[in-house]
Amino acid sequence: MKRIVFLLVAVATLAGVVAFTAPAPGSADQQAAPVFGIKIFPGYRDWRLISVAHEAGNLNDLRAILGNDVAINAYRAGKLPFPDGTAIARLAWSYVPSEENNKVFGRSQSFVPGSPTDWYLQFMVKDSKKYAATGGWGFAQFDKDGKPADEAMHKTCFPCHEPAKASDLVFTHYAP
Amino acid sequence: MKRIVFLLVAVATLAGVVAFTAPAPGSADQQAAPVFGIKIFPGYRDWRLISVAHEAGNLNDLRAILGNDVAINAYRAGKLPFPDGTAIARLAWSYVPSEENNKVFGRSQSFVPGSPTDWYLQFMVKDSKKYAATGGWGFAQFDKDGKPADEAMHKTCFPCHEPAKASDLVFTHYAP
């Protein structure tokens, strides 16, 4: 595994892409989330954009949904189910008004990301064998310091995603 | 120039990164925007995430702000002014409630991207010599079909961005 990561870093450097330098919580020796055993993907902040969203109500956040290459290719091909190796990250920040922007617009209309939310980071990872009991998906949730949620919380992921069966348990659509 | 692009494609393929395949409006023979002569960057939908935002009011959109490698590196280094070669893209979609998500949440709270907005795509491009008269930045705005806005509209970009002098005319901060 280490060899593969080193190879990727070398190739990424060749390509002029600065990977694995995101100011991300978590690192190689980071704690795995319970139930599904997923760790924070070190390069997730460099993944490409799937979509964005605003969750109002109690969550009151702005969020970005990013995907690794397998995820992005699957979304663009429009084929379901997602193939093994798909990884999707959900990042969330508090929803705050931007006084700086509002001054320029001349009215109160601009909302931007504040601090990372308490449950800043979530992953969905496709492995149809390993996660056969949960529709082929593993789920993980981490707080803003990279600490995983507990087992009880991780057991709520699959039932909550089940209504999205028609889109292979994934709520987020690709933003054109 | 063509040779550089081909080289990049070759290296990107090596790295397992599928670049230049975004279903983006515009292509190599796409019309340049007036005043600053900027064309749609073919790979912009593959750029990494700087931040997201919700503009309420008349705009009523959800937006993503993406950056090329020069932009992302500059943001992460926290150094101003942005170096020449920086390119920042702003994508905007209409702000629509997601009935699908709201059903799962059990309340009306989820807002997601709908169609691309009329002025879907904007770019800021740093070239301190070429764009010396406008703070080193060139600006471009395109509609959802990739057609550039007119000259009069492009002349409003710089005055509107001037209040953001302290952050080198860029409103968007990097989302952690």
- Residue A148 clears pLDDT 80, i.e. is over it: yes
Work out the pLDDT band at B27, boundaries 50, 70, 90: low
B8 lies within 8 A of chain A by CB: yes
- For B78, residues 6+ apart whose C-beta sits below 8 A from its C-beta are none
Q: For residue B32, give the amino acid letter.
A: A
Q: What is the pLDDT of residues A46-85, one digit of tens each?
A: 999 999 999 999 999 999 999 999 999 999 999 899 999 9
Q: What is the pLDDT of residues B90-139, one digit of tens each?
A: 999 999 999 989 988 888 899 999 999 999 999 999 999 999 999 999 99
Looking at beta carbons, which residues of chain B come within 8 Å of A116?
A: 176
Q: What is the pLDDT of residues A109-121, one digit of tens each?
A: 999 999 999 999 9
B143 lies within 8 A of chain A by CB: no
| Closest A-chain CA to B11 | A15
Contact assessment for residue B83 and residue B126, using Cβ atoms and an 8 Å cutoff: yes
Which residue has 């209504």 as its token pair? A163
A14 lies within 8 A of chain B by CB: yes
Q: Shortest Cα distance from B24 to chain A (angstroms)?
A: 8
Work out the pLDDT band at A127, boundaries 50, 70, 90: very high
The sign of the dihedral angle between the CA atoms of B21, B23, B29, B34 is negative
The reply to whether ipTM tops 0.90 is no
Q: For residue A4, give the amino acid letter.
A: I
Q: Determine the number of helices (DSSP H) and then strands (DSSP E) in chain A.
A: 5, 5
